[in-house]
């Protein structure tokens, strides 16, 4: 049976913006199609499970500090898993920790995994509000992604790292260059929560299909009744536009 294995990194620590909603959506959209689904929690000290998709969410500063060493220590294993075909989705704080470091407002520094060439430095104000972006994770398949952002960090991408998308309404990575998130190979990072996947079913399906590809080759996903998802997406898009 076709099945998807998702590893949820630090679900006890990094869950500030209802990150479990993202996992719930992946689970439901697999099960509705008869695709097996397993979410495996991975906390500090646990061995890194074999998975098709690694998910990491965001936490309060204190919670992120508690897992900093553990996550940084996993960088090589995560890199190996991604090179082996796994995908990674990182949201908010998890996105910042994809980079080299996060520098706080008082100059305090939190290390990241360096899986993606990016750095984040806190600004004087938080960038908060509804956000919408245009993205093209798969060439030729443009998507609009909607949600909410709430971050003090200003993220700058290294040369050669593409943003996940272009901001239509909202702040994005740093409020200046119009980019939001990062997309590097099989790694996707974004500030967009809400949670990210429920209102963006096309993005959820794209990640499911790509991650399934690691062990099951090309999988065609049956369409689902996404009327409510579509209405929620469109309403959020209109609200973001003001």
Partner 1 sequence: MTAFTAKVVAARAAAGLSRRTRAGGGTTLPGKLLLRMAPDAIERMTARLAGGSVVISATNGKTTTAKMLAALLEPERRLCRNTAGANLESGVASALLHCHGADLGVFEVDEAALPGVATRLEPRATVLGNLFRDQLDRYGELEAIAARWQRMTAALPAGSLLVRNGDDPLVASLSNPGETLTFGIDHEGAALAEMPHASDSKWCPACGTRLRYERVYLGHLGDWSCPGCGRRRPPLDVWADALDPLGLDGTRFVLRTPLGDADVELPLPGLYNVYNALAATAAACAVGGVDVARMAQGLERFDAAFGRFERLRIGDRDAVLLLAKNPAGANELIRTLATDSRPKQLLVALNDLIADGRDVSWIWDVDFELLAGHVQGVVTAGTRAAEMAMRLKYGGVGGDRLEVAGSIEAGLDRALAGGEGPVYLLGTYTAMLELRAVLARRGVVRPYWEAA
| Residues with a known catalytic role | 92, 193
Residue count, binding to partner 1 (CB under 8 A): 34
Q: Which of 10, 17, 95, 191 binds partner 1 (CB under 8 A)?
A: 17
Q: How far is the CB of 211 from partner 1 (least distance, A)?
A: 19
Report in angstroms the alpha-carbon separations of 16 from 83, 111, 160, 194, 198: 29, 20, 31, 11, 16
Q: Are 160 and 141 in contact (CB under 8 A)?
A: no
Nearest to partner 1 of 23, 157 (CB atom): 23
The yes or no reply on residue 231 touching partner 1 (CB under 8 A) is: yes
Q: Are 96 and 153 in contact (CB under 8 A)?
A: yes
**Candidates 72-80, 97-105, 190-198, 214-222 — which segment interacts with partner 1 by CB under 8 A?**
190-198
- CB count in 10 Å sphere of residue 230: 13
- CB count in 10 Å sphere of residue 130: 19
Q: Which of 2, 3, 60, 108 binds partner 1 (CB under 8 A)?
A: 60
SS3 225: coil
Q: Per-residue x/- mask for partner 1, residues 28 to 47, rule CB under 8 A?
A: x-------------------
Q: How far is the CB of 30 from partner 1 (least distance, A)?
A: 13
The yes or no reply on residue 193 touching partner 1 (CB under 8 A) is: yes
Q: Which of 10, 102, 148, 191 binds partner 1 (CB under 8 A)?
A: 148
Nearest to partner 1 of 216, 221 (CB atom): 221
Q: Are 151 and 122 in contact (CB under 8 A)?
A: no
Instruction: Tell me what percent of the chain is helix, strand and coil, each rounded to the nearest 5.
Output: 30, 30, 40
């Amino acid at each position: 049976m076709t099945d998807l294995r998702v590893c949820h990194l630090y679900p006890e620590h990094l869950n500030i913006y209802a990150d479990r909603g993202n996992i719930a959506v992946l689970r439901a959209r697999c099960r509705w199609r008869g695709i097996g689904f397993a979410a495996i929690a991975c906390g500090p000290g646990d061995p890194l499970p074999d998975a098709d998709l690694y998910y990491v969410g965001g936490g309060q500063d204190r919670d992120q500090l508690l897992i900093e060493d553990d996550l940084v220590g996993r960088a090589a294993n995560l890199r190996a898993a991604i090179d082996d075909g796994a995908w990674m989705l990182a949201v908010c704080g998890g996105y910042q920790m994809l980079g080299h470091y996060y520098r706080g407002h008082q100059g305090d520094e939190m290390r990241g995994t360096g899986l993606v060439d990016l750095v984040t430095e806190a600004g004087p104000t938080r960038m908060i509000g509804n956000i919408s972006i245009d993205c093209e994770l798969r060439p030729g398949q443009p998507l609009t992604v909607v949600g909410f952002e709430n971050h003090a960090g200003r993220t700058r991408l290294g040369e050669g790292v593409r943003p996940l998308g272009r901001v239509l309404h909202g702040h994005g990575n740093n409020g200046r260059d119009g980019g939001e998130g990062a997309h590097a190979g099989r790694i996707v990072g974004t500030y967009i929560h809400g949670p990210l996947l429920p209102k963006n079913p096309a993005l959820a399906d794209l990640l499911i299909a790509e991650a399934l590809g690691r062990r099951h080759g090309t999988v065609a996903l049956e369409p689902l009744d996404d009327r409510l998802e579509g209405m929620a997406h469109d309403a959020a898009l209109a609200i973001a536009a003001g």
